[in-house]
Amino acid sequence: MPDYSKLCRALAYHFKQEHYLTMALTHRSVGLPNNERLEFLGDALLSCIVAEALFERFPLAREGELTRLRANLVKRDTLVQIAQKLELSQYLRLGFGELKTGGGQRASILADAVEALIGAIYLDSGMEVCQTVVLQLWQAPLNSLSGHHIKDPKTRLQEYLQAKQQSLPSYQVLSIGGTPHAQEFEVECIVPGAKPTYGMGESRRRAEQAAAAQALRILNIE
């Protein structure tokens, strides 16, 4: 049997049923059983645990802001960083083809294995322990978050363009619909050198924020 003692110390968790750990580290190229189902479970658990942590940490953040922060914390790059911290590549069980092509260093395989580990810990010890392990592993990414991560889209777009020494965006109300007590604004956001974006909202401010958020997505700014 492989010696997982160093990995377990890095996780600050020792498995009661080691077959869960072995399965979490087994890529589908080996055959069955492998870590695909554990990856599915771990993905859902990670999203839930991170969502709760952000909910508690940023009580004033809106849903869209929390969603953006969560996406950043559970994305592949972050998972790969966790895998590298755990030196996970040396423990992966890969088929001959994946071994030959360096699969142990492939980002997708490393990220999937981290999610599978989370699923394995949950099955081995339950939600409370799983949450403790995940929050410990994600301590640095969570601590790196600060107030600038929850600035509104208009502010973030303006700061981005200022940093690029470009002209600031302009906003124009295209239409106002609905009733006097339930108005709906449509706003156009114009960013130099980019296609116009549009937003809807129950106030001009909300519509401008929605249009700015769309501009950020088009500019591929997280």
Q: Which residues are catalytic?
A: 43, 115
Q: Which residues contact 63 (CB under 8 A, 6 or more apart)?
A: none
According to DSSP, residue 2 is labeled: -
Task: Give the count of beta carbons closer than 10 Å to the beta carbon of residue 217.
Answer: 12
Q: What is the spatial distance between Cα 21 and Cα 16, in angstroms, rounded to a whole number?
A: 10
The dihedral sign for the CA sequence 136, 66, 109, 119:
positive
Q: What is the spatial distance between Cα 190 and Cα 218, in angstroms, rounded to a whole number?
A: 12
Q: Which residues contact 131 (CB under 8 A, 6 or more apart)?
A: 49, 52
* 3-class SS of residue 13: coil
According to DSSP, residue 169 is labeled: P
- φ, ψ of residue 115 to 5 degrees: the values are -60, -40
Cis preceding linkage at 33, omega within 30: yes
